[in-house]
């Protein structure tokens, strides 16, 4: 449709239920909740049962019952099903999904594929009902919400021994301002990873395996396998690290009580082994007990924080003051704002290196993604809130401790300045009534921010409350990592990436607990606990986690930059350029491009086809592309920089002799000038059907090959010769039989921009140049403007998804809305339903669209598709097929045989009567479309798949009936019945 079409007066305003075409005499329909009319559907004379029983009896534990699932059929065919959630769950490991009929089943002759009762041999799984019965007998596993499963778990891991034992010392060294800068830098690094992992986690339903599962499903097993092994070991080491930290605190407490010991490291080893054993027993008890234990640790931490906060407010005793601890004081706060570096390692980067591991723990909730009720909601929400609250605490602690505690103090109560004292006094303490000059000058002070690592305990209302917090932080982190590592390793084993580790994939119980992997992780932890050196273990952990963060961010970057249609995260607040390159690498030579292209194509040949990598790779039957610019512009709108587009030109032998030859270079220049990323492939053949068949078989290279045929609607199908019509329709049939997807674009004024002889411009297009010189070899023909080059504004994209084709009908409008000209358009999805299940059908479809992350929020349930079409429209359809009917029942048998022999394309009376209900439904659907979608930017309608013995003229009349009378572009589209959308991150 060109500019003239957009200026044309419409007969309908496009309001959904209220506006009706003047050719339809019927009561208002009831479409979902948008209209509350009382009109009931009128039964036509030719209707098939709308519901068919697909599952029978099912039982549950303790009682017997029956369950009848009503599986709704498409308005086109009995075996052609409407879209259902179950059709898209086959990507989940170890789960058998219900399948839709294949193209081969839909193309079978009607006397073979459809029985009178509607049953089929379409290959729909007969085990689906049994699986549902088995699922009812299984108890649901324990699933955690986002608060307990993500937020609290992450907060417990971020709050650790560094906060309790090192943050006050870092504040003394760097000052409050630079400590805040360290916190800001650390949070910037972690928040980037959190945003990336949130986007990855919401790009489909995530099962067990955490970051390994997400990275491996995005970047493949090569990188995913490496990160899975590294991350599992990193979690095991983190558990050992926290156990050793806990053991060191216990050892120090024992020494403070006067306990003598020959080898302090042995105490660390003994306490560490006992601790890991107790934590293992808690983990083996299951996620429910582990979560309860984590809640106890969280309560202990909150008590510790309350004790610290109260300690900063209450008046300080002389003992506290001798340790440099006072109440909130402005002079102390100002003095501690600036740094005071001490010692050989006293510098910003050394302090930052010590602090940065404190921000680890952001992936704790992701690690147990399989145990979360809703990972796509829980991971972003819980992790971001955990980072928010822990960041506030890390910013508040330097302020509170820096405003209350001096850097140096002796701890000697005799240093209190008497009223009659006249001796020298150095430092801020002099103004507060204390003289710490001796210890400051001799650098022998034992207390204060710069000297004591237990300042938080000393300032707290009770010293042992901070000790309780240290215990809770270290034990909770050790327990979380001990639970995370086995689950990651279990997922790694189930993918069979590494040999000889399949033994550890087995799960037990209703929560599929990896008990064998628990034991393996325990052994690894014990081995590192026996090292008994915190610094050695910590050096390894930082590298492992940094590698994980880099790969997570690269995964998000790679998925975004490749414009993969499968990358549809519902979490939008991420920036794919946080790893942007610093400069260009220069222009490579043509030979280098060829070499790289060859290498990449060879690598691509070894990659298996997968739903998450699906892209519509299109062969477009444009003829010379400049003859059908609308077809070129439309396909380029959703393939540009995303997928393959080939403009196919079938040149007939006789046309080659009559018409001037148009060089390939000239048409390629035309495409480049139009900024269309497409190849041009001319092919000489005796007919359209033969040429298209050869193009389908020969186009592409390796895995880079087409999977979708796009062609224009043959508007003059009734005026052309029968051979030409037969050739066109059989081309469509061959496409179905080749298991290709297919799109047919129809515009009111046609697709041809120029007449081949006088080069007049179609009134549906506009030329950008005044001078038209005709077609030339130089490719400088007028660049006529089409509607697909305009900004579509806030118009609707209407999708009539009346049969489940695998999702291509939804994927194409989604790809369109990713373009600048279409991104303001609102996509409306029309589905088939009954008044009795109208709300349920709408809810199911909204749930399916939500799982697909397509951002289509409006669903309209068509409840009046079974009404008989208006007689005026039905008569128009009958008139269109009348010249192609045989009328054999009105003639003698001998004459009929001669007619069938001489005109095999004609429609017999028997065929016409059999297909009459299907014909009426297509006329009825067109009435609904014209009523609701006249003002749409474009509408997409599921293309019916014909029987193999359906007459060509009748099928062409169906296509004409579906799209006649429309003023907007219409796309008849059909996937090849294989999934192109998935809601699992698989």
Model confidence over 422-454: pLDDT tens digits? 678 888 888 888 888 888 888 888 888 988 878
pLDDT at 580: 43
- Does residue 800 surpass a pLDDT of 70? yes
Where do the H-state alpha helices sit in 640-775? 653-658, 664-673, 688-698, 722-737
Lowest mean pLDDT among 46-50, 225-229, 846-850: 46-50
Q: In the structure encoding, which two tokens stand for residue 281, read together?
A: 């027993």
Contact 634, 745 (CB under 8 A): yes
Lowest mean pLDDT among 155-169, 320-334, 676-690, 856-870: 155-169
Long-range contacts of 537-544, Cβ-Cβ distance < 8 Å, separation of 24 or more = 537/237, 537/240, 537/241, 537/244, 538/241, 538/357, 540/237, 541/234, 541/237, 541/238, 541/241, 541/357, 541/360, 542/356, 542/357, 544/230, 544/231, 544/233, 544/234, 544/237
Phi, psi of 921 (to 5 degrees): -65, -35
Phi, psi of 200 (to 5 degrees): -65, -40
**SS3 at position 818:** coil
* DSSP assignment string, 41-69: PPP-SS---SEEEEEEEEEETTEEEEEEE
- Does residue 345 surpass a pLDDT of 50? yes
pLDDT at 385: 92
- Does residue 21 surpass a pLDDT of 70? no
Neighbours of 464 (CB within 10 A): 13
pLDDT at 112: 42
Contact 537, 241 (CB under 8 A): yes
Ranges 425-439, 694-708, 769-783, 798-812, most confident:
798-812
Q: Half-sphere exposure of 639 toward its Cβ, with a 13 Å CA cutoff?
A: 25
Neighbours of 894 (CB within 10 A): 8
Give percent of the chain with pLDDT exceeding 90.
22
**SS3 at position 6:** helix
Instruction: Give the whole-angstrom CA distance, residue 667 versus residue 864.
Output: 47
DSSP lists the bridge partners of residue 784 as 767
Neighbours of 596 (CB within 10 A): 11
Burial of 421 (0-12, 13-18, 19+ CB in 10 A): exposed
Residue 156 vs residues 306, 364, 397, 478, 516: alpha-carbon distances, Å: 16, 9, 16, 10, 26
Helical axes 515-529 vs 221-256, angle rounded to 10°: 50
For residue range 27-40, what is the model confidence (pLDDT) as tens digits?
444 454 443 333 33
Strand extents, DSSP E, 885-948: 938-942
* DSSP assignment string, 403-446: TTB-S-B---GGGBPPTT--S---SGGGGGTB--HHHHHHT---
pLDDT at 596: 65
How large is the greatest C-alpha to C-alpha distance in the chain, in angstroms? 139
pLDDT at 930: 93
pLDDT at 769: 42
- Does residue 631 surpass a pLDDT of 80? yes
pLDDT at 658: 52
Contact 167, 398 (CB under 8 A): yes
- Does residue 585 surpass a pLDDT of 70? no
b/e map 626-637, b = 16+ CB within 10 Å:
bbbbbbbbbbbb
Neighbours of 158 (CB within 10 A): 25
pLDDT at 403: 92
For residue range 642-682, what is the model confidence (pLDDT) as tens digits?
888 999 988 887 666 555 555 788 888 888 888 888 888 88
pLDDT at 743: 95
Ranges 493-507, 593-607, 910-924, most confident:
910-924
b/e map 917-928, b = 16+ CB within 10 Å:
ebbbbbbbbbbb
- Does residue 897 surpass a pLDDT of 80? no
Q: In the structure encoding, which two tokens stand for residue 175, read together?
A: 């000052």
**SS3 at position 905:** coil
Contact 969, 750 (CB under 8 A): no
Lowest mean pLDDT among 697-701, 711-715, 956-960: 697-701
pLDDT at 31: 52
pLDDT at 575: 64
Average of pLDDT values for 213-240? 78
CA dihedral 50, 55, 58, 64 (to 10 degrees): 50
User: Hunting for tokens 């009831």 — which residue is that?
Assistant: 30
pLDDT at 125: 41
Phi, psi of 885 (to 5 degrees): -90, 150
User: Hunting for tokens 């999904």 — which residue is that?
Assistant: 97
For residue range 516-564, what is the model confidence (pLDDT) as tens digits?
989 999 999 999 899 887 767 776 777 777 777 887 888 788 777 777 7
Q: In the structure encoding, which two tokens stand for residue 839, read together?
A: 């709300």
Instruction: Give the whole-angstrom CA distance, residue 643 versus residue 777.
Output: 28
**DSSP structure class, residue 325:** B
Cα 157 to chain centroid, rounded: 27
pLDDT at 582: 40
- Does residue 619 surpass a pLDDT of 90? yes
- Does residue 589 surpass a pLDDT of 50? no
DSSP lists the bridge partners of residue 797 as 827, 938
- Does residue 70 surpass a pLDDT of 50? no
Which residue has better confidence, 41 or 347? Answer: 347
DSSP lists the bridge partners of residue 648 as 621, 681
Neighbours of 257 (CB within 10 A): 7
Lowest mean pLDDT among 277-286, 353-362, 407-416, 577-586: 577-586
Q: How confident is the model at residue 704 (pLDDT cuts 50, 70, 90)?
A: confident
Q: In the structure encoding, which two tokens stand for residue 235, read together?
A: 């979690």
User: Hunting for tokens 């400049």 — which residue is that?
Assistant: 626
Average of pLDDT values for 874-888? 89
Q: In sequence order, what are the residues at sequence separation of 6 or more whose Cβ sits closer than 8 angstroms to the Cβ of residue 312?
A: 327, 328, 400, 404, 459
Q: Are strands 766-767 and 784-785 parallel, antiparallel or unpaired?
A: antiparallel
CA-based nearest residue to 632, from 649, 647, 643: 647
Q: In sequence order, what are the residues at sequence separation of 6 or more whose Cβ sits closer than 8 angstroms to the Cβ of residue 181?
A: none
DSSP lists the bridge partners of residue 335 as none
Lowest mean pLDDT among 92-101, 174-183, 297-306, 889-898: 92-101
Lowest mean pLDDT among 45-49, 265-269, 295-299, 420-424: 45-49
Give percent of the chain with pLDDT exceeding 70.
78
- Does residue 85 surpass a pLDDT of 60? yes
Instruction: Give the whole-angstrom CA distance, residue 122 versus residue 103.
Output: 9
Instruction: Give the whole-angstrom CA distance, residue 756 versus residue 752.
Output: 9
Ramachandran quadrant class, 62 (left: phi over 0; alpha: psi -120 to 50; beta: rest):
left
Q: How confident is the model at residue 255 (pLDDT cuts 50, 70, 90)?
A: confident
DSSP lists the bridge partners of residue 939 as 798, 970
pLDDT at 929: 94
* DSSP assignment string, 268-319: HHHHHHHHHHHHHHHHHT-HHHHHHHHHHHHHHHHHHHHHHHHHHHSPPPHH
Q: How confident is the model at residue 607 (pLDDT cuts 50, 70, 90)?
A: low
Q: In the structure encoding, which two tokens stand for residue 869, read together?
A: 């079409």
Long-range contacts of 620-623, Cβ-Cβ distance < 8 Å, separation of 24 or more = 620/645, 620/646, 620/647, 620/648, 620/678, 620/710, 620/711, 621/648, 621/650, 621/688, 621/692, 621/709, 621/710, 621/711, 621/712, 622/647, 622/648, 622/649, 623/649, 623/650
User: Hunting for tokens 């598709």 — which residue is that?
Assistant: 865
- Does residue 876 surpass a pLDDT of 80? yes
CA-based nearest residue to 325, from 210, 442, 458: 458
Q: In the structure encoding, which two tokens stand for residue 154, read together?
A: 């992450």
Average of pLDDT values for 506-511? 78
Average of pLDDT values for 114-127? 40
Average of pLDDT values for 494-520? 83
Contact 488, 231 (CB under 8 A): yes
pTM of the shown model: 0.70
């Amino acid at each position: 449709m060109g500019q003239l079409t957009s200026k044309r007066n419409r007969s309908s305003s496009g309001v959904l239920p209220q506006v009706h075409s003047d050719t339809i005499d019927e009561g208002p329909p009831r479409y979902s909740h948008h209209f509350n009319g009382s009109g009931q559907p009128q039964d036509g004379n030719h209707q098939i049962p709308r519901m068919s029983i697909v599952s029978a009896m099912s039982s549950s534990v303790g009682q017997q019952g029956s369950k009848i699932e009503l599986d709704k059929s498409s308005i086109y065919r009995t075996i052609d099903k409407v879209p259902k959630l179950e059709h898209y769950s086959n990507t989940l490991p170890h789960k058998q999904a219900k399948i839709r009929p294949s193209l081969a089943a839909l193309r079978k002759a009607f006397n073979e594929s459809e029985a009178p009762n509607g049953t089929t041999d379409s290959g729909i799984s007969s085990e689906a009902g049994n699986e549902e019965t088995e699922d009812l007998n299984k108890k649901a596993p324990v699933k955690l919400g986002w608060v307990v499963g993500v937020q609290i778990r992450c907060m417990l891991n971020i709050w650790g021994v560094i906060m309790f034992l090192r943050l006050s010392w870092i504040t003394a060294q760097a000052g409050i301002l630079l400590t805040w800068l360290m916190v800001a830098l650390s949070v910037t690094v972690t928040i980037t990873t959190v945003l990336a992992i949130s986007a990855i986690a919401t790009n489909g339903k995530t099962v067990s395996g955490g970051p390994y599962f997400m990275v491996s499903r995005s970047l493949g097993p090569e990188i995913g396998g490496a990160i899975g092994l590294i991350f599992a070991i990193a979690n095991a080491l983190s558990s050992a690290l926290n156990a050793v930290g806990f053991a060191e605190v216990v050892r120090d407490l024992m020494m403070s009580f006067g306990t003598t010991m020959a080898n302090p490291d042995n105490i660390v080893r003994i306490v560490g082994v006992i601790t890991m054993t107790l934590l293992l027993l808690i983990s083996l008890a299951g996620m429910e007990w582990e979560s309860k234990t984590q809640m106890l640790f969280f309560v202990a931490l909150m008590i510790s924080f309350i004790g610290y906060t109260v300690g900063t407010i209450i008046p300080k005793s002389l003992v506290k003051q001798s340790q440099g601890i006072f109440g909130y004081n402005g002079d102390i706060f100002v003095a501690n704002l600036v740094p005071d570096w001490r010692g050989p390692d006293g510098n910003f980067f050394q302090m930052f290196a010590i602090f940065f591991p404190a921000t680890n723990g952001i992936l704790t909730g992701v690690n147990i993604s399989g145990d979360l009720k809703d990972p796509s909601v829980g991971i972003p929400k819980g992790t971001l809130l955990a980072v928010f609250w822990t960041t506030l605490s890390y910013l508040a602690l330097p302020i509170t401790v820096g405003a209350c505690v001096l850097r140096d103090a002796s701890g000697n109560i005799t240093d209190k300045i008497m009223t009659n004292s006249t001796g020298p006094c150095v430092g801020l303490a002099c103004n507060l009534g204390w003289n710490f000059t001796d210890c400051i000058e001799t650098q022998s002070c034992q207390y204060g921010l710069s000297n004591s690592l237990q300042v938080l305990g000393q300032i707290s209302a009770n010293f042992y409350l901070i000790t309780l917090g240290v215990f809770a932080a270290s034990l909770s982190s050790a327990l979380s990592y001990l639970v995370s590592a086995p689950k990651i390793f279990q997922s790694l084993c189930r993918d069979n990436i590494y040999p000889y580790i399949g033994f550890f994939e087995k799960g037990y119980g209703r929560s599929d607990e990896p008990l064998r992997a628990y034991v393996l992780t325990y052994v690894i932890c014990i081995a590192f606990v026996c090292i008994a050196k915190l610094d050695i273990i910590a050096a390894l952990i930082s590298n492992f986690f940094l590698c994980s963060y880099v790969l997570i961010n690269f995964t998000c970057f790679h998925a975004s930059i490749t414009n993969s249609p499968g990358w549809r995260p519902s979490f939008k607040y991420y920036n794919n350029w946080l790893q942007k390159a610093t400069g260009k690498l220069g222009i490579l030579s043509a030979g280098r491009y060829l070499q790289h292209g060859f290498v990449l194509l060879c690598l691509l040949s070894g990659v298996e086809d997968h739903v998450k990598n699906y892209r519509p790779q299109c062969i477009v039957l444009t003829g010379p592309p400049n003859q059908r610019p609308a077809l070129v512009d439309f396909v380029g709108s959703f393939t540009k920089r995303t997928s393959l587009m080939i403009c196919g030109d079938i040149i007939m032998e006789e046309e080659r002799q009559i018409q001037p030859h148009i060089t390939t270079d000239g048409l390629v220049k035309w495409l480049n000038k139009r900024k269309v990323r497409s190849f041009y492939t001319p092919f000489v053949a005796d007919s359209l059907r033969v040429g298209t068949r050869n193009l389908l078989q020969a186009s592409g290279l390796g895995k880079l090959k087409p999977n979708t045929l796009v062609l224009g609607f043959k508007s003059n199908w009734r005026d052309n010769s029968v051979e030409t019509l037969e050739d066109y329709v059989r081309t469509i049939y061959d496409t179905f039989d080749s298991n290709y997807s297919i799109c047919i674009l129809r515009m009111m004024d046609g697709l041809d921009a120029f007449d081949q002889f006088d080069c007049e411009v179609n009134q549906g297009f506009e030329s950008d140049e005044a001078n038209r010189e005709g077609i030339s070899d130089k490719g400088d023909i007028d660049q006529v403007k089409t509607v697909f080059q305009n900004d579509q504004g806030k118009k609707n994209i209407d999708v009539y998804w009346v049969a489940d084709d695998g999702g291509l009908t939804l994927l194409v409008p989604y790809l369109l809305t990713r373009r600048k000209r279409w991104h303001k358009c609102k996509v409306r999805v029309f589905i088939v339903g009954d008044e009795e299940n109208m709300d349920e059908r709408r809810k199911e479809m909204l749930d399916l669209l939500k799982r697909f992350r397509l951002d289509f929020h409006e669903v309209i349930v068509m409840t009046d598709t079974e009404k008989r079409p208006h007689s005026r429209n039905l008569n128009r359809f009958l008139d269109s097929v009348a010249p192609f009917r045989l009328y054999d029942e009105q003639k003698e048998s001998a004459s009929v045989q001669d007619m069938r022999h001489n005109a095999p394309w004609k429609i017999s009376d028997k065929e016409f009567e059999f297909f009459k209900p299907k014909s009426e439904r297509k006329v009825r659907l067109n009435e609904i479309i014209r009523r609701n979608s006249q003002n749409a930017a474009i509408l997409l309608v599921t293309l019916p798949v014909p029987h193999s013995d359906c007459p060509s003229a009748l099928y062409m009349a169906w296509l004409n009936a579906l799209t006649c009378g429309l003023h907007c572009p219409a796309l008849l589209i059909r996937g090849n019945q294989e999934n192109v959308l998935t809601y699992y991150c698989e």
